[in-house]
Amino acid sequence: MRADQLDAHLKGTLAPLYVLHGDEPLLVIEAADAIRTAARARGFGERDVLVVTQYFKWSALAEAAGNMSLFGGDKVIDLRIPTGKPGREGSDALARYAANPPAGTLTLVTLPLMDWKAKKSAWFAALIEHGIELELNAPGLDRLPGWLAGRLARQQQSATPEALEFMAGHVEGNLLAANQEVMKLGLLHPPGELTLEQVRNAVMDVARYDVDDLRQALLAGDAARASRLLDGLRAEGVAAPLILWIVVSELRVLATARAEMDAGRSADDALAAARIFGARQSPYKRALQRLSSSATRTALMQAARLDRMIKGVARGDVWDEFLQIALRLCAR
């Protein structure tokens, strides 16, 4: 089933088994919430949540299926497999379970993005043979304006094509941020059509004026200014994830365009492939004259390490790492 078919499906008869997987946590969470809400409305008054960890005992799934609801009604079994790898015992248990789902039970299986090899496994094939599968991936930049338009429509708003393109360009790769921007527009403006200026002011307000200044300094190769701006952002308590999002969004553009240029395309065509058009290309062209593919790839790897540091799973000084990335991008 496609994601856009779920709402209509949930108005009818519910299936006994749903399998959700994909690369976008926001969409997976929302789909799971919608299914659980529909189940509650149909009298599924109890829910068992099972999270498959290293020491998970698969007998717990059979026990949850065999235990009657305390209140005598139907129940939801919410099975979550964060790694997407149930192991040999789990594979057998899932195949048996899918072939004979318990009566009076709706089972929701949540997985990460499944690659082609995992999709060919016997246990996954058994799940989708007997249940409904939804693959929930983030829309690409070409489909992101339409996705944003759909979100705005939920709150009785719309936006001009230019406004949607602008918004998409600023939230690409971060669907959670995109959703937050849409919600903010609902709070700032009444129902109706939003102009480019209204959207621009709202989106840029999130970034704060000096975060956008940092973007400009990095593209211009102004190391001294970038260093001063990072110090100012740190002093003002600006959230590190927001700064990283700004930096990575520029890195992705530069890395994509640099790779296209290395393949023989002109700077104009390379930047167009990275969704940068017209007058917006000028600062990127200057940046690409001094940056190599090796430099952009290394900066992206540094950004990935910085992301782990911000999340507390890697050691290091977050702000020093920001400075190192900035100096790399500004090197001449």
What's the pLDDT tens digit per position in 32-68?
999 999 999 998 988 999 999 888 999 999 888 877 6
Helix (H, G, I), strand (E, B) or coil at 44: strand
Nearest-angstrom CA–CA distance, 234 and 226: 12
Contact assessment for residue 10 and residue 38, using Cβ atoms and an 8 Å cutoff: yes
- Residue 297 carries which side chain, given as an amino acid letter? R
Does pLDDT of 71 surpass 60?
Answer: no
pLDDT at 96: 93
Average pLDDT in the chain: 88
Over range 118-136, report the average pLDDT: 93
Q: Selecting from 3.30.565.10, 1.10.1660.10, 1.10.8.60, 3.30.200.210, what CATH number does the domain 139-194 have?
A: 1.10.8.60
Does pLDDT of 151 surpass 90?
Answer: yes
Most confident of 152-156, 200-204, 266-270, 279-283: 152-156
Does pLDDT of 273 surpass 60?
Answer: yes
Enumerate residues 6+ apart whose C-beta is below 8 A from 329: 218, 221, 226, 250, 251, 254, 287, 291, 295, 299
What is the percent of the chain where pLDDT is above 70?
Answer: 95
Does pLDDT of 207 surpass 60?
Answer: no
Confidence of residue 211 (pLDDT cuts 50, 70, 90): confident
- Tell me whether the CATH fold assigned to 3-135 matches the one assigned to 139-194: no
Over range 97-123, report the average pLDDT: 91
pLDDT at 103: 86
- Residue 310 carries which side chain, given as an amino acid letter? I
Nearest-angstrom CA–CA distance, 279 and 153: 31
What's the pLDDT tens digit per position in 23-40?
888 899 999 999 999 999
Token pair, residue 85, equals 């790898």
Domain residue extents for the chain: 3-135, 139-194, 209-330
* Burial profile 41-75: b = 16 or more Cβ within 10 angstroms, e = fewer: eeebebbbebebeeebebeebeebbeeebeeeebb
Confidence of residue 18 (pLDDT cuts 50, 70, 90): very high
Confidence of residue 73 (pLDDT cuts 50, 70, 90): low
Contact assessment for residue 264 and residue 272, using Cβ atoms and an 8 Å cutoff: no
Does pLDDT of 209 surpass 70?
Answer: no
3-state secondary structure 86-127: CHHHHHHHHHHHHHCCCCCEEEEEECCCCCHHHHCCHHHHHH
Over range 97-103, report the average pLDDT: 89
What pTM did the predictor assign? Answer: 0.59
Topology of domain 209-330 in CATH is Zinc Finger, Delta Prime; domain 3 (1.20.272)
pLDDT at 130: 93
The CATH architecture assigned to 3-135 reads 3-Layer(aba) Sandwich (3.40)
